[in-house]
Amino acid sequence: MPYHISPELIIDGTLYSLLAFSVATWTVILFKIWEFTKNGFHNRRFNEAFWDLPDLAQAEVLPAHAAIGPQARIAQQGFAWLNESRLSDGKHLKYIGAPAELLEHSLLVQMQKEQHLMESGLTLLASIGSTAPFVGLFGTVLGIMHAMHEITASGSTSLDVVAGPIGDALVATAIGIAVAVPAVLAYNFFLRRVKQHRAGLENFVASFLHITLNADKV
């Protein structure tokens, strides 16, 4: 045990690490709130514009301000696949097979990309939520060990001597828990939002396949 290291240095290092965790947590939280709010707005506006159009030809050339968001990008991928499939005339391996199944695969691949974007940052929240209490506990344990060593060296076991160093060491554990709680709550909240958005994307993929098949686009 490196007793020559001051307990203040150990506790301060732990607290600075937890401060970095806290900054990262709230940065991710604010970014994800903005991202989900933006995606929800764009998806609603795209749905209103897309489903009010009379045919797919007009849906393919929606104005740029309306063709934004995850669902719009899935639709654009579907239209791109349809156009490339017609131009390829079966000359490429990726277009060999049942057109409906190939189109569905293309849409699902794009949907998975959108889901990965929505899930970005959640791993960091989960990691911080699970490790922050242990980082705080690590600082507390080392701080108490140093405090006990100093108490032993001083030869005094009075409450005034013992309470101060140990109380300072316990602060690290309290801060670690305080950092972990928002991270865990935010992770659970955003995970639920990801599932809700994924359900909306799945419904759009199914509806897009339905209208393209009925319109004989594949």
- pLDDT tens column, 64-119: 777 788 999 999 998 888 888 777 665 666 667 677 888 888 899 999 999 999 99
Rounded Cα distance between 136 and 18, Å, is: 7
- For the chain, state the CA radius of gyration: 28
Which spans in the chain are helix H?
7-51, 56-60, 70-88, 99-119, 122-154, 159-214
Render pLDDT for 124-147 as a digit per residue (tens, 0 to 9).
999 999 999 999 888 888 777 777
Report the C-alpha gap between 177 and 70 in whole angstroms.
Answer: 36
Distant-in-sequence, close-in-space partners of 180: CB < 8 Å, separation ≥ 6: 128, 129, 130, 132, 133
Q: How confident is the model at residue 7 (pLDDT cuts 50, 70, 90)?
A: low
What pTM did the predictor assign? 0.82
For residues 44 and 38, give the distance between their C-alpha atoms in angstroms, rounded to a whole number.
10
